[in-house]
């Protein structure tokens, strides 16, 4: 992409809305500790289920974006997970995705993931506290995530149906989910499809199609709507479906799959709102970064004004400032919130966040220069910065 000249407006008319949101969803994969493309793959699965259900274009469009953005609120409970469980939030979230909710599996998970770096006495105390208050802690964590996710979806101008689908992601068919203990068809359809889709992706990525289908069958009637599992079963022998799910090209396939309900106009104001919303996702990860991206955007704009840059260029720079730290979602809060000095491995993880920001933003063709700016925001004039 050619470097824009000073004052040049950045053209967004060529960006597809599905491509923009889908590309930014890779940031949400980071904060859940999931392999890159988890939200996109969940969208591939869930949209096919929606099509086989015979949903109309409006419902398919809403389902599609519920799936891509299902994890919008996940950064908001990361610091609290580290505080309560005394562990790495990314590994915790990654591994918890495979826990089926049975008492035995939950107890095994708690014992194995609480205070792994502590001495025996400290670990026993920490595990005991979780066992005494675990239900309240789980409710708090999921409630925070669901409420923040729905709130950000509304900021992004999505319908209440999409916001409600994100809010109810962790509800279970048998009423054993959270945050509202909804059951059966009182759970929004988009949420029911999203929960099934994400579990299928987790088990397919870790194993294969058979492992994913077996897990869906095991949880039918408890976690999952049995009718949706039956629809998933109709895809069991669809080899192209599973091959694409495992393909490096699945993101392109998902972007092409976007329902044609309407063309979303990506005007300048909407681009500002999207950048601000994802900046909010980043800043919610740690109490030490609350409001950071917004402040950086303000200072950037003030400096740009002093340098005589025109309004279009200043607007472009504000967006870059809002998104510059998106890669920080891939750094554990055990590191970000550590009160003492970082060791070499921890410092290496922190340094990686600039490269992660670049990798995410470079997925969007019109963000090419923004990606380069994000990659270099810790470089120094004396050459002692990072990552390069």
Which residues participate in catalysis according to the annotation? 328
Query: How does 24-63 read in b/e, with b if 16+ C-beta sit within 10 Å?
Result: bbbbbbbbbbbeebbbbbbbbbbbbbbeeeebeeebbbbb
Whether the CB-CB separation of 197 and 42 falls below 8 Å is answered with yes
> What DSSP designation does 224 have?
B
Query: How does 86-125 read in b/e, with b if 16+ C-beta sit within 10 Å?
Result: bbbbbebbbeebeeeeeeeeeeebbeebbbeeeeeeebee
> What DSSP designation does 343 have?
-
Quick one: how far is CA 145 from the chain centroid? 11
Residue 351, Cβ density class (10 Å: 0-12 exposed, 13-18 middle, ≥19 buried): middle
Residue 352 corresponds to which tokens in the numbers above? Answer: 């990686």
Residue 12, Cβ density class (10 Å: 0-12 exposed, 13-18 middle, ≥19 buried): middle
Whether the CB-CB separation of 179 and 142 falls below 8 Å is answered with yes
Count Cα atoms within 13 angstroms, Cβ side, for 172: 16
CA distance to 133, 305, 354, per residue, from 279 (Å) = 32, 22, 15
Whether the CB-CB separation of 74 and 93 falls below 8 Å is answered with yes
């Amino acid at each position: 992409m050619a470097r824009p000249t000073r004052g040049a407006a950045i053209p967004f008319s060529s960006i597809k809305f599905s491509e923009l949101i889908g590309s930014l969803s890779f940031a949400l994969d980071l904060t859940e500790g999931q392999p890159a493309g988890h939200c996109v793959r969940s969208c591939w699965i869930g949209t096919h289920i929606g099509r086989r259900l015979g949903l109309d274009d409006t419902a398919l469009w809403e389902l599609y974006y519920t799936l891509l953005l299902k994890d919008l609120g996940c950064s908001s409970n990361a610091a609290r997970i580290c505080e309560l469980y005394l562990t790495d939030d990314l590994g915790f979230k990654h591994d918890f995705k495979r826990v089926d909710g049975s008492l035995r599996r939950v107890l095994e998970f708690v014992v194995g993931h609480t205070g792994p770096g502590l001495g025996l006495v400290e670990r026993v105390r920490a595990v005991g506290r979780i066992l005494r208050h675990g239900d309240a802690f789980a409710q708090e964590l999921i409630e925070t995530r669901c409420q923040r996710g729905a709130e950000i979806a509304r900021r992004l101008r999505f319908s209440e149906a999409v916001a409600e689908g994100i809010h109810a992601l962790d509800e279970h068919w048998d009423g054993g989910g959270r945050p509202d203990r909804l059951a059966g068809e009182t759970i929004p359809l988009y949420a029911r499809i999203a929960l099934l889709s994400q579990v299928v992706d987790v088990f397919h990525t870790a194993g294969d199609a058979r492992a994913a289908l077996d897990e869906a069958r095991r949880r039918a009637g408890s976690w999952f709507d049995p009718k949706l599992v039956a629809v998933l079963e109709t895809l069991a022998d669809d080899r192209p479906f599973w091959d694409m799910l495992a393909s490096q090209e699945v993101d392109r396939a998902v972007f092409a799959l976007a329902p044609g309900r309407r063309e979303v106009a990506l005007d300048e104001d909407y681009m500002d709102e999207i950048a601000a919303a994802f900046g909010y996702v980043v800043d919610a990860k740690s109490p030490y970064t609350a409001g950071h991206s917004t402040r950086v955007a303000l200072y950037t704009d003030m400096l740009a004004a002093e340098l005589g840059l025109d309004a279009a260029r200043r607007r472009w720079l504000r967006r870059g400032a809002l998104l510059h730290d998106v890669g920080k979602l891939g750094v554990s809060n055990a590191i970000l919130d550590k009160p003492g000095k970082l060791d070499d491995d921890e410092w290496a993880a922190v340094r990686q966040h600039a490269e992660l920001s670049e990798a995410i933003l470079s997925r969007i063709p019109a963000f090419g220069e923004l990606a380069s700016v994000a990659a270099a925001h810790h470089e120094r004039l004396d050459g002692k910065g990072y990552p390069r």
